[in-house]
Structure 1
């Protein structure tokens, strides 16, 4: 649980940073007010698409790069968030796999198993 909580804190920090980068970019390039800029950045960050139409070429170019950036960030953060849970699941599955069957003993013969 501590690893999950630590990863969740990192994920929320990175998502907030990515959201802020998008909001600043939309505010600077397209002149959106802060609420609309954050909303547009949040919609793109989650893969839903922009809400406000782009009025300038600079905003369109920023939107292209921010969309690619946010897609990578979002998918990476999902992996970071679910990593400890997946590791715990695989660890438990591995322990239960060998719990019922005894571990194989090493053979003392010098013959090759392929021979």
Structure 2
């Protein structure tokens, strides 16, 4: 299986193509964030019986690591909030990694090419 990223023996990707790659990874990250927010919003609305706006607010704050706003009234709501918080930590870190992956790859590629010259 061929990787999308260039091998260390390949030339550095032209800057315009690099920007397109960064945009592609950024858009994928937006999809991950939207999916994660959707899970949280629906879950908080369903389990905690709060409005859609409050559910979105809680999901947004949990996803970014700020913490919950509304108290969870039932055990099911508390369990959902707990699992969503664990999921959110992984999702947020994964999203950051996806955003920075092409930048880190280019930097390492440049450093490796300079080392060979």
Aligned with residue 85 of structure 1, among 96, 103, 108: 103
- State the TM-score, normalized to the length of structure 2: 0.82
Q: CA RMSD in A?
A: 0.8
1:46 aligns with 2:87: no
Residue 94 of structure 1 deviates from its aligned partner by: 1.1
Aligned with residue 83 of structure 2, among 65, 76, 79: 65
Consecutive aligned runs of 4 or more in structure 1 exceeding 2 Å deviation: none
Q: Taking CA–CA contacts closer than 8 Å with sequence separation of 6 or more, which of the two structures ends up with the larger relative contact order?
A: 2
SS in 2 for 1:25: helix
SS in 2 for 1:96: helix
CA–CA separation in structure 1 for the residues paired with 2:114 and 2:67: 44
The equivalent residue for 2:34 is 16
- State the TM-score, normalized to the length of structure 1: 0.83
Structure 2: runs of 5 or more not aligned: 1-18
Paired residue total: 99
Larger Rg: 1
